[in-house]
Amino acid sequence: MDTEDQQLEELKKWWKENGSSIITGVVLGLAILFGARAWFAWEERTAQQASTIYTVMMNDMQAGDVKAASDNAGVLIADFSSTPYATLAAMLLAKYRIGDNELDAARTQLQWALDNGSDELRDTARVRLARLLISLEDYDTALGLLQEAEASGGQGGVISELRGDIHSVRGESRQAVDAYQEALLLMNLDYPGRHLVQLKFDNAIVLAAPSMDDSQ
């Protein structure tokens, strides 16, 4: 049986061989722990600051102070780009740019929102950007943008409707019928714009009737 002295010598030997790695591991673990806490604290402060600026921006907007609202939106985009408030600010700036007929600037802001927003906000930015592209008669880009999104979720019906609008203006009535039909299936019965989509669908069917008859 080992004596206490032998056990102590073995412990010293083991510590000499492994002690430094254990200390390193403990130090590293503490550094990660405190680093993570510091990171989360920074994230929380950043979110709070962004929320405050966003609230001020919304108050400016309601007061009709477009310049102040635009300035605060610019701060959110430049300094708080990792927060959802920056995406909302970019879409607000796009709205102002469209109002001023600065369509290229609006397109840039909406593209930024699409590239940097969360999934839900990206869908909203996608719809707004597609509408802008349609108004610019850039149908190919708008259609490609809409086809990147699956026709599902809260914006699915609107996305399908916009696809139908593009096909309709191009004279592609049969594709318009399919898109509007998909939009109606995805929209709730109480959706505010559903009646208009139904009218578009009915009109597309009338226009597509000759080509459907020819194919039979």
pLDDT digits (tens, 9 = 90+) for 94-144: 999 999 999 999 999 999 999 998 777 888 899 999 999 999 999 999 999
User: What's the rounded Cα separation, in Å, for the pair 64 and 60?
Assistant: 6
Tell whether the model's pLDDT for residue 211 goes beyond 70: no
Count how many Cα atoms sit within 13 Å of the Cα of residue 53 in the half-sphere of its side chain: 25
pLDDT score at 39: 46
pLDDT score at 107: 95
User: What's the rounded Cα separation, in Å, for the pair 195 and 144?
Assistant: 26
pLDDT score at 64: 85
Tell whether the model's pLDDT for residue 197 goes beyond 90: yes
**What CATH number is given for 42-117 in this structure?**
1.25.40
